[in-house]
Amino acid sequence: MRKIFQLLALLGAFLTPVYAQFTFTSLQFPGGDLTRTFGINNRKEIVGSYRVVPPRHAMLIAKGQYIPLATSSILGTNFSEARGNNNRGQVVGTYLVDQGNQHGFLLGSGVVTAIDFPGATATEASGINDSGAIVGWFFDAAGAVHGFILRAGVFTEIHFPGAADTQPIGINSRGDISGSWDTNINTQGHGFVVTKAGQFINIDAPGAAPDSTSVTGINDLGQIVGSYTDASGVGHGFLATGGDFKTVDFPAADFTICWGINNAG
């Protein structure tokens, strides 16, 4: 928990580019025209989606191999996207049925299980830790976004205090959760971390335009990643770690979003 409280000290730190600190590698599904990546576990397995012909489908990248997920299931026949994975090989994400209805899913041992918050008009599962706790969000009939955590088949709502929308995205092995919240459904809003003990911490990236920060990933060391928009309207990724709060911009890209981070950084 001490690592999480240290995040508060990072908020006033200076944002600096990190071209020199990192090696960037472009990832592209073979033969595809769109590749998206979101989650990464400690085995360096990455999940996301690819498109060869519409719609796009959930995939795994492991040991350099691009692997479509559960191709004989609804993930292979309909739009699907993998959003998070744990070290046990479980994957969560979202899929759409023909009518456009959105559902979350859990994929484990080759079995796809739908995740639907009771009474929701749409559900998305976005993060899972090694204990099998799943976080995500759902839409109500009015179009507002509410967060949830699913443990042992039991849903519990997550609401950032005073928020109109709450969108949990990542969860680490301790149960600390990262995400976004806003006071107006038409804005991106602010980032947050909520500790396992239930303390909510607001996060706005230094130098970010108002209502433009999102925290998407958190690892067991308390490092967080996300994105923000600057005053010129340009989108940047960021990494907060060890007292530094730094921008992450893919070279020559128009915008960058950081989604996931494992314990190796």
Expressed as residue numbers, the domain containing 235 is 1-27+159-265
- Asked if the structure places residue 214 within a domain, the reply is yes
What domain count does the chain have? Answer: 1
Residue 258 CA to residue 253 CA, distance in Å, equals 13
- Asked if the structure places residue 263 within a domain, the reply is yes
Tokens of 127: 């993060």
Q: What is the pLDDT of residues 176-203, one digit of tens each?
A: 999 999 997 656 699 999 999 999 999 9
Q: What is the pLDDT of residues 19-47, one digit of tens each?
A: 447 789 999 999 999 999 999 999 999 99
- Asked if the structure places residue 33 within a domain, the reply is no
Question: For position 259, what pLDDT does the model report?
Answer: 97
- Say yes or no to pLDDT of 128 above 90: yes
- Asked if the structure places residue 130 within a domain, the reply is no
For the chain, the C-alpha Rg in angstroms (whole number) is 17
Do the beta carbons of residue 238 and residue 16 sit within 8 Å?
A: no
- Asked if the structure places residue 89 within a domain, the reply is no
- Sign, Cα dihedral of 118, 176, 90, 22: positive
Question: For position 10, what pLDDT does the model report?
Answer: 38
Do the beta carbons of residue 118 and residue 99 sit within 8 Å?
A: no
Other C-beta atoms lying within 10 Å of the C-beta of residue 89: 14
Residue 176 CA to residue 197 CA, distance in Å, equals 8
Q: Give the count of alpha carbons within 13 A of 168, CB side only.
A: 30
Longest dimension (CA), the chain: 49
- Asked if the structure places residue 259 within a domain, the reply is yes
Instruction: Report the number of secondary-structure helices (H) and strands (E) in the chain.
Output: 2, 20
Residue 244 CA to residue 9 CA, distance in Å, equals 9
Question: What are the backbone angles phi and psi of residue 193, rounded to the nearest 5°?
Answer: -125, 135
- Asked if the structure places residue 230 within a domain, the reply is yes
Other C-beta atoms lying within 10 Å of the C-beta of residue 184: 11
- Asked if the structure places residue 5 within a domain, the reply is yes
Q: Where residue 15 falls among pLDDT bands split at 50, 70, 90?
A: very low
